[in-house]
Amino acid sequence: MTHSQPHNLATLPVAIIGGGPAGLLAAQRLAEAGCRVVVYEAQATMGRKFLVAGHGGFNLTNDEPLTAFATRYGSRHPTFESFLRYFSPADLRRWAAELGIETFVGTSGRVFPTADYKPAQLLRAWLLRLQQLGVSLKTRHRWLGFEGPQTLRLRDEAADTEFLVEPAATVLALGGASWAKTGSDGRWTALLAEIGVSTRPFAPANCGAEVAWSAFFREKAGRTPLKNIALRCGNESLKGEVLLTDYGLEGTPVYALTRPLREALAAGPAFLHLNLKPDLHPDQLQQKLQRPRNGKSLASFLQQQLSLGAPVPALLREVAPPEATADPAMLARLLQNLPVPVTGLRPLDEAISTAGGVPFAEVDGHLMLNRRPGTFVAGEMLDWEAPTGGYLLQGCFSTGAWAARGVVEWLEKSTSVLS
């Protein structure tokens, strides 16, 4: 990942606004290309959301083949396939190795640092590398907007002063609008609106689904997992584990289905369909349920025949009509297609990520703003979404690398025109 220094780029300063993964990788790539880079971060430390994201399982990327990997970005998959080919999951693992961080592929295909390494250690090694490359890292510096065709307005929170900088190019990497405590609050949309850049409203992605459980069910089920299930919304489904909570459902399958669920909620009544026995053929399931109960309760019968214990009986009582549990054929269909009515998604600030932001129509093929030449956008500021499992973080890294490439080409073109 060492880059040759293009002619004259060392004399041209580049500003990175935002000290998250996309911004820091863009800074590294640009410094390796010979640029003078300054990163401005509003928070007291760099990479706060990067650290918070690591608390739930620090998977950097995924080992899935690139063609399949790109489909995780939904309608943006052709664009992201280009990004991924430029800075791939393999490139990300090599990048970590160059920082001294070893990685391995888990059974699910997710890529993790080995147990010896924590998110904070990787971030420290990364920041040290950036400093060795000559990158200037300025924390507690808030971006206030644009001034003229190239100038940026900033505020030094520590010194309580405002100032102007005029970089040759700028990369905006301020994140989406989830986890505001990390600085990812989406307030930058107003600053882009001042120069006529439209943004799509933010919406929660990778978040829990709200269900209006009865008081009885909330008390009975508590925070209980449903393991080895499949979850479906519309035509999309995913196997995994779901957690019943007092507000509804959460877990990887729920997070992965937030996009179609969000669309279903916008159109009218929305449901998540639970398959509690996804590996059992419907005929086999029905045969098991047709066996005599011999006076056993539904709970005892389900436990004996299907190893379905609590909270399945309570869940059936909550969402299924009473007569359905008495008929083996109806019960079999319900166990593999149990409709759970969803009333909404969890609040934006609780979401792992967000949809919305800068539409791709507002940037060119290099991720440069059409309305402000020399200003590029990367990471979750752009309007894309992907499930957890390494896809989110990889998307941030790949768009950061792609934006850096665009900056280098822009600067080379600018210097050639000037000369």
Note the maximum CA span of the chain. 92
Question: Roughly what angle, to the nearest 10 degrees, separates helices 312-319 and 298-306?
Answer: 120
Overall average pLDDT of the 323-345 stretch: 93
CATH code at 9-204+355-418: 3.50.50.60
What pLDDT does 416 receive?
A: 65
End-to-end CA distance of the chain: 29
How crowded is residue 321: how many other Cβ atoms within 10 Å of its Cβ?
10
Q: Which of 167-181, 216-230, 397-411 has the highest mean pLDDT?
A: 397-411
Overall average pLDDT of the 279-308 stretch: 92
Distance CA 250, CA 346 (A): 10
Which one has a higher pLDDT value, 6 or 237?
A: 237
Closest CA to 60 of 101, 22, 108, 93: 93
What pLDDT does 56 receive?
A: 58
Average pLDDT, the chain: 92
What pLDDT does 57 receive?
A: 67
Q: Where in the chain is the domain with CATH 3.50.50.60?
A: 9-204+355-418
Q: What is the pTM of this model?
A: 0.90
Distance CA 135, CA 212 (A): 51
What pLDDT does 4 receive?
A: 44
What value, to the nearest 5°, has the Cα angle with vertex 409 and ends 95 and 184?
A: 55
SS3 state of residue 28: helix
Residue 417 clears pLDDT 60, i.e. is over it: no
